[in-house]
Structure 1
Amino acid sequence: MSLKNVSSYSIIILLVAVACGKSDQRAMQGPPPVNVAVHQVTTSDAAYYDEYPAIVKALNEVELRPQVSGYITGIHFKEGDKVQKGQALYSIDQQQTEATYKQALANLSVQEANLEKAKKDVERYRELDRQDAIAKQQVDYAEATFAAAQQQVEAAKATVRAVQTNVRYSTIVAPFNGTIGISLVKLGASVSPGQTVLNTISSDDPVAVDITVDQQEIYRFTQLLASNKPSKNDSTFRLAFRDQLYPQPGKISVIDRAVDPQTGTIKMRLEFPNPQHTLRAGMSGTLQVVSKTQRSVVIPYKAVNEQLGEFFVYMVDSAKATQRKVVLGKQVGRNIIIKDGLKEGETIITEGIQNLREGSAINVAKPAAAPVAANK
C-alpha cells in the first residue's frame, strides 16, 4: 500500500471518530427543552349552569269524551284554535234524547194531576172525618194515596232532571280556556259514552316543565322554591333547545311529595310563561339551573391532560415538567373548576403540554394573566 493511500484511510478514520464523539455528546445531553407557556393558579368566584333533561307539559289537559251515545251532528271549531271555557265544540244527535225528554215531561204532568186529585180527596175526607161522617179507614186510604202521589211527582221530576242532563251532554263544551287539537272523529261518526275520545284540550300559558333530580339536590331546590321571585332579568332557570335559549325565565311550581325509592330521584315542576305560544306540550329540552361557587380554583381547560380516565396538569419544577393529578369540577366557558389538586399561587403549564413527559426539560415563557370566570 502506498503512503498516499495510508494517509487517506487515516483521515477517514479520524472523521468517523469525531462524528461518533459528537453523537455520544448529544445523546448524553438528551432532547432539547420544550417551549411552554405557564399560568399562575388563582381563585375566583364562578357561575355556571347545571343541566337537566326537561319535558314541556300543559298545566291543564283533558281528553274530551261523550257522556251520551249517538252520532256526531256538528263540529263547531277549527282544529288548533284557541277556545274559551263553555264554548260549544261538538253536537251529538239529540232526536232520541229529546223524545225521552218530552216523554218525561208528559209523565210529570200526569203525576202532578194525580197529586192534585189525591190532594182534593184527602182534604174532603179530612173535613168529613172532623164531622164524624166517614169511616176512619177511608181517611187513612186517602192519606196514603196522597203521600204516594207526592212521591210519584218527585220521581217524575228526577227523571226530567236526568233527561235534561243528557240533553246538555249532547253538546260538548270546552271545560277551560286553551288550545284544541286535531279532531279524532268526523261528522256522522257514532260515539259511545265514556269510550270514544273526541279531542284533547290543553292550556298553553303558562306551561309546565318537568324534570327529575337526585335526592341529594332536594335541599338546594327547596331553597330555590322558597326564594321564587322571578323577573324579566332573572336567569336562575333557563330553558334551552339545542343551542337556542327560550327568552322567558321560569320558576319552581312544585316539588313532588316523595322520592322514588327505586331510582333515588324526585320529580319537580317549573312554570314558564308562554305568551307567544311557542312552547308546545311534549317538547323536550334542557333546563339550566344557575349554580355559583365562591373562591374556587379556576384554570384554563386547555391545561388539563387526560390519561386512562384520570386528569392531570403539568407543574413547573426547577425548569422541568412534573405531572399532578387533579379532580375536575364544572366547566365554565373555556375554563374549568378544580375541586382538588391545586392551590392558589402554584404555577401550571398551559401550552406545549402535548410535547411533555414526566421530567421533560422546559423553556418557560412569561406567565399568562389569570382567567376571568364567565357564565357558560
Structure 2
Amino acid sequence: MSKVYKQMKSINKITNGLLLGLLAVVAMACSSGNTSPRVPGPAVVSMIDVTRSEVTGVDTYPATVVPVNEVELRSQLSGYITKIFVKDGATVTKGQKLYEVDRTKYVASYQQEKSNLATAEANLARVEQDLKRYEALYAKDAIASQKVDYAKADYKSAVAEVAAAKARLSSSANDLQYSVVKAPFAGSIGLHQVREGTQVSPGQPLLNTISSDDPMAVDFVINEKEIPRFIRLKKEGQIDSLFRLAYTNGMQYPYQGRVLAMDRAVGRQTGTITIRLSFPNPDRELIPGMTMSVKVLNQDHGDQITIPFKAVVEQMGEYFVYVEQEGKANQLRIHLGTVVGDQVVVRDGLKGGERLVVDGLQKLRQGAPIQAATAK
C-alpha cells in the first residue's frame, strides 16, 4: 500500500510541472502578441570637426657615430719601442710624435749611406775632370780616341753610382723617419696597445688607433624606397635644417647636420643603403661608437590635417575613419603620416571641415544612423 501511494505522489508532481510549463508558454505567447518589435535607435557617438594645425613632422632612424677619419697606427720597422710620447686617450695634432722604435741601427745606416754618397760624388767629380782633359787632348791629336772612350764610360759609371747612392740614402732616410710614428692628422688616440720595451715588426702588433674629432660623422640606414627623397635633400640648398641628432635619453644634440655621403650600392639581401651625415663636434660630445637617433624632417611639415589617432580604424592593413554625413556613418579610407603625440597627420582622404567620429567606433558600420553625444 505504501508503495502505491508513493507512485501516485510522483505522478502528481510530474503533472503539476507540465501544467506550469504550459501556462508559462501561453503567457509568453499572449505577451508577444500584444507588443511590437523594438526598433534600435541611432548609435550615440562623440564627434569633432576635422581641422588643420601646424606640424613639425620628423622621421626617426637609429644611428651610430663614426669618425670621418680613422687610422690604425702600426710600426713599419722592426725593433723595440723605446719611447711613448703621449698618454692614453690623448688629443694630438697632425705630425705630433707618438712612438719611437729603437733608432740606433737606422741612424748608423743613414750615416753610412751619406758617406757612400759623398764618395760617389767625389769619384764622379774626378772622372768628369779626366773626361774633359782627355777630350781636350784628343782635340789636339795628343791621345788616341780609345782613351777618350774609356773616360766617357768611367763618367757614365760614376753618374750611375751617384744615383744609386742617392737612392740608398733616401731609403735609409725613410727608415730613420719611420722609426718615429707620428699622428697623420689631428684627433684623439685610444689606449696604448704596447709599452716601452715591446718588440715590434712591420705591421705587428697594433700600436694604437687615432680618429678625428671635429667634424664627426653619423651613419644610419634607409630603405631603398627613400633614396629619391634623400638624393633630393642632398641637392637642396637648405638641408642643414633638416637633420637633427638626439641622445638615447631623448636630449637633443645642439648642432645641425648635413648629408656627407651616400653608400655606393643598395644591399642585395637587405634592400637598404647607408647615409652618412656630418655634424660639428667642437665640444667633443660625440664619441665614435655612440648610439644616437637621427631626426629628419619629412613632408608632414607646416599646415597639416591632424586627427586623434584613436579615431582611426585599421582593416586588412588599410586605415579608415567614420565621418557624419546626413546623420549616418560614412566610412572613408585615409593615408596616414607622422604621429605627433596622440594626433596623427592625414596625408590623403580628408579635406578639413568633416564631422569625425572619435568615440563609439565599435558600434558603427557603413550607413548606420548616428547621433552626437550630449557634451558633459
TM-score (norm 1): 0.79
Q: 1:217-259 CA distances to partner (integer Å, 9 max, x unpaired)? A: 344333322334467xx4x211123322212111122344555
The answer to whether the aligner puts 1:137 opposite 2:137 as a matched pair is: no
Which residue of structure 1 aligns with residue 77 of structure 2? 68
Tell me the distance in 1 between the aligned counterparts of 2:123 and 2:157.
10
Q: Offset of 1:138 from its aligned partner?
A: 2.1
- The letter of the residue matching 1:71 is Y
Partners in 1 of 2:153 and 2:304 — Cα distance?
Answer: 92
Mapped partners of 2:229, 2:55: distance in 1: 18
Tell me the C-alpha RMSD between the 2 structures: 3.6
Q: Which residues of structure 2 form unaligned runs of 5+?
A: 1-22
Give me the TM-score of the superposition, normalised by structure 2.
Answer: 0.79
What is the match of residue 277 of structure 1? 284
Q: 1:227-376, aligned counterparts within 5 Å?
A: 227-229=236-238, 234=241, 236-242=242-248, 243-256=250-263, 259=266, 264-293=271-300, 296-306=304-314, 309-316=317-324, 325-353=333-361, 356-358=363-365, 364-365=372-373
Taking the aligned partners of 2:237 and 2:90, their CA distance within structure 1 comes to 33
* Helix, strand or coil at the partner of 1:244: coil
Task: Go from structure 1 to structure 2 and tell me whether the alpha carbon gap of 1:261 and 1:228 turns closer, same or farther (over 3 Å shift).
Answer: farther
Deviation at 1:172, TM superposition (A): 0.7
SS at match of 1:245: coil
Is 1:198 matched with 2:203? no
Aligned positions of 1:7-18 closer than 5 A: none
Q: Is the 8 A contact 1:319 1:364 kept in 2?
A: no
Aligned partner of 1:92 in structure 2 is 101
Q: Which amino acid aligns with 1:161?
A: S
> Structure 2 residue aligned with 1:185, among 190, 194, 197?
194
Give 1:338's aligned amino acid. Answer: V
How many angstroms does 1:80 deviate by? 1.3
Q: What is the rounded CA distance, in whole Å, between the counterparts of 1:353 and 1:283 in structure 2?
A: 44
How high is the sequence identity, in percent, across the aligned residues?
44
Give the stretch that moved more between structures: 37-46 or 96-105.
37-46
Q: Which amino acid aligns with 1:277?
A: R
Amino acid across the alignment from 2:194 = V
**Closer, same or farther: CA 33–226 of 1 in aligned 2, 3 Å:** same
Alignment equivalent of 2:180, drawn from 138, 149, 171? 171
Distance 1:319 1:230 in 2: 48
Alignment correspondent of 2:167: 158
> Which residue identity is paired with 1:336?
V
Secondary structure at 2:260's aligned position in 1? Answer: strand
Determine the structure 2 residue equivalent to 1:149: 158
SS of 2:206's equivalent in the other structure is coil
2:243 partner letter = F
How many angstroms apart in 1 are the aligned matches of 2:196 and 2:279?
A: 37
Name which of structure 1's ranges 265-274 and 177-186 shifts more when overlaid on structure 2: 265-274
Instruction: Out of 214-223 and 139-148, give the one that drifted further.
Output: 214-223
- 1:208 is matched with which residue: 194, 217, 230? 217
The answer as to whether partners of 2:43 and 2:364 remain within 8 angstroms in 1 is no
**Counterpart-to-counterpart distance in 2, 1:327 and 1:219:** 20
Aligned-partner Cα distance in 2 for 1:299–1:366 = 21
Please say if residues 230 and 249 of structure 1, whose CA atoms lie closer than 8 Å, have aligned partners that are also in contact: no
Distance 1:345 1:105, change over 3 A: closer
Question: Match for 1:221 among 230, 236, 243?
Answer: 230
Q: Which runs of 5+ in 1 are unaligned?
A: 1-12, 369-376
Residue 7 of structure 1 aligns with which residue? none
Figure out how many residues of one structure are paired with residues of the other and give that number: 350
Q: Decide whether aligned partners of structure 1 residues 132 and 321 sit closer, same or farther in structure 2, where only a CA change above 3 A counts.
A: closer
Give 1:10's aligned residue. none
